[in-house]
Chains A and B, each alone.
Chain A
Amino acid sequence: MNLADLFQGVGTFFYQEPKIAIARVVLIFLGIFLVYLGKKGTLEPLIMIPMGFGMSAVNAGVLFLDGQKHLEIGTIFMDPLETDTTGLMDILQIDFLQPIYTFTFSNGLIACLVFMGIGVISDVGNLLRFPFTSMLIAMFAELGTILTFPIARAMGLSLGEAASIAVVGGADGPMVLFTSMLLANDLFVPITIIAYLYLSLCYGGYPFLIRLLIPKELRGVAVKSAKKTDISSKEKIIFDVVACTLLCLLFPMAAPLFLCFFLGNAIKESGVFKYMQLLEDVFLYASTFFLGLLLGVLCEGSTLLDPLILKLLVLGMLALALAGVGGIIGGYVVYFINGKKFNPTIGIAGVSCVPTTAKVAQKEVQKANKRVVVLQYAMGACICGVITSAILTGLYVSIIPLLQ
């Protein structure tokens, strides 16, 4: 017996292609680094800590699947690329994460459960108070989703691949998961990983964009205080039902996501406390945990080494950057329409990373002027951003298959 068979995690390095072996080492250290950044709070810890652990473990825990023949190398975490039904049934009984991947991740269930949880923690009241302002800002923030598509096509991606990476600009993880599952199944894994990595960077990157594009005196502008209209729970639930039905009618391909978001929100407004606890404490946190873990485990060296990865990295960053710029432009438009009595920083909240971008907007405004509070307007734009992302996702998944 040689040492490679005794310590297979190390031994497999010598039986794999050099680039895969190097990728494994890099990903092990990257995983550890992501855990550190998650713990420090630089990146979102809810996703990064399980993701980092999964990433380093899956790249370390590689073994010979055919004993001493040393021809087949893999892991017993999961196989995302297995499509044959018989092979899948075998793997489901061996790989411990395969049931979760097959029955919740690759069919979009986990995205829907996360969306249900997002619905429960969202308040559509601000959207109902300022619908036109919120929708305008949110649609400007969708510039990333729109402009990235033709750029991706120019870089050689197919229609479905370009649409999937463009949806990253909507800053909505479940939407990206859903779109890439439907339109670009081959790139589902790298696109989703890139989307979640970049979404976690929003908190760190967007303040610089705000300071670059908005001068300090404008960042400190107080919003002209409109008479605050009380929005009752009844009105919010009616909105949830009507909007859900309407959007499902228009975009049945994205109906699962619409149902989950509006159902979650309706449960919150109905005051059924046990259901609210279930959706928020169990569904949302369990789904987020397993989402992060699965994403990390998907970052195995051999799965990620696709020549398209570099293009996707660039396009993902571009999509989110353009989304931020678009949101700020939207903020400026409302600023001028409202006779300079609106804070353009609120525009960044149109990028629907709930509630991160709303918090970023409030933090940057308060740095410029401690007395100004914009959170309610920012949250209205943020929640609206979820809806406009869903609209554009629905349009992409409906229109792109017709063009292929």
Chain B
Amino acid sequence: MNNWLIAFEIYFLGFIIAVVMAAMIKVMLIVIRRLSPPEKAAEKNEGGSA
């Protein structure tokens, strides 16, 4: 198999995985914040201290 082709395929796969990871990070942050937004955490703290 052509060496440049091997290199290009590895790079291409790496790029895809990197983009997927970046998208996963964005989605993950949205989901976490929707499930437990910062205001809910602040309310819990206020309730606790009262």
Interface residues, chain A, CB within 8 Å of chain B? 127-128, 131-132, 134-136, 138-139, 142, 146-147, 149-150, 153-154, 162, 231, 234-235, 238-239, 242-243, 246, 250, 387-388, 391-392, 395-396, 399, 403
| Cα separation A111 to B11 with both chains bound (whole Å) | 24
Interface size class of B (residues with CB under 8 A): 20 to 34
Interface contact B28-A149, CB-CB below 8 Å: no
What residues of B have a CB within 8 angstroms of the CB of A235 in the complex?
28-29, 32
Interface contact B22-A131, CB-CB below 8 Å: yes
Q: Is B42's CB within 8 Å of the partner chain A?
A: no
Measured CB to CB, the closest approach of chain B to A189, in angstroms, equals: 25
What residues of A have a CB within 8 angstroms of the CB of B50 in the complex?
none
Which residue of A136, A146, A238, A243 contacts B7 across the interface (Cβ within 8 Å)? A146
Q: Which residue of B lies closest to A152 (CB)?
A: B3
| Cα separation A134 to B6 with both chains bound (whole Å) | 25
21 contacts between A and B (CB under 8 A): A127-B25, A128-B29, A131-B23, A131-B25, A131-B26, A132-B26, A142-B11, A146-B10, A147-B7, A149-B6, A149-B7, A150-B6, A162-B3, A235-B29, A235-B32, A238-B28, A239-B28, A242-B28, A246-B24, A250-B17, A392-B14
| Cα separation A397 to B2 with both chains bound (whole Å) | 18
Given contacts A238-B32, A239-B25, A242-B28, contact A150 B14 (CB under 8 A): no
Q: Which residue of B lies closest to A147 (CB)?
A: B7
| Cα separation A271 to B23 with both chains bound (whole Å) | 27
Measured CB to CB, the closest approach of chain A to B31, in angstroms, equals: 9
What residues of A have a CB within 8 angstroms of the CB of B28 in the complex?
235, 238-239, 242
Interface contact B11-A146, CB-CB below 8 Å: yes
| Cα separation A128 to B22 with both chains bound (whole Å) | 8
Interface contact A139-B15, CB-CB below 8 Å: yes
Q: Which residue of A lies closest to B26 (CB)?
A: A131
Interface contact B22-A391, CB-CB below 8 Å: no
What residues of A have a CB within 8 angstroms of the CB of B29 in the complex?
128, 231, 235
What residues of B have a CB within 8 angstroms of the CB of A146 in the complex?
7-8, 10-11
Given contacts A128-B29, A146-B7, contact A135 B22 (CB under 8 A): yes
12 other contacts beyond A131-B21, A132-B22, A250-B17, with CB at 8 A cut-off?
A: A128-B29, A139-B14, A139-B15, A142-B11, A146-B10, A149-B6, A150-B3, A153-B3, A235-B29, A239-B25, A388-B18, A403-B1
**4 closest A-B pairs by CB:** A150-B3, A131-B22, A131-B25, A153-B3
Interface contact B7-A135, CB-CB below 8 Å: no
Of A231, A387, A392, which is in contact with the most chain B CB atoms at under 10 Å from its CB?
Answer: A392
Measured CB to CB, the closest approach of chain B to A149, in angstroms, equals: 5
Q: Which residue of B lies closest to A388 (CB)?
A: B18
Measured CB to CB, the closest approach of chain B to A297, in angstroms, equals: 34
Interface contact B6-A135, CB-CB below 8 Å: no
What residues of A have a CB within 8 angstroms of the CB of B21 in the complex?
131, 135, 243, 246, 387
What residues of B have a CB within 8 angstroms of the CB of A134 in the complex?
22
| Cα separation A376 to B11 with both chains bound (whole Å) | 27
What residues of A have a CB within 8 angstroms of the CB of B17 in the complex?
250, 391
Interface contact A142-B14, CB-CB below 8 Å: yes
| Cα separation A146 to B14 with both chains bound (whole Å) | 10
Interface contact A150-B11, CB-CB below 8 Å: no
| Cα separation A162 to B1 with both chains bound (whole Å) | 14
Measured CB to CB, the closest approach of chain B to A258, in angstroms, equals: 12
What residues of B have a CB within 8 angstroms of the CB of A138 in the complex?
18
Q: Which residue of A lies closest to B41 (CB)?
A: A232
Interface contact B6-A391, CB-CB below 8 Å: no
What residues of B have a CB within 8 angstroms of the CB of A150 in the complex?
3-4, 6-7
Measured CB to CB, the closest approach of chain A to B43, in angstroms, equals: 16
Measured CB to CB, the closest approach of chain B to A272, in angstroms, equals: 21
Interface contact A391-B18, CB-CB below 8 Å: yes
Which residue of B1, B3, B22 contacts A149 across the interface (Cβ within 8 Å)? B3
| Cα separation A242 to B25 with both chains bound (whole Å) | 9
| Cα separation A146 to B29 with both chains bound (whole Å) | 31
Given contacts A135-B22, A239-B28, contact A395 B10 (CB under 8 A): yes
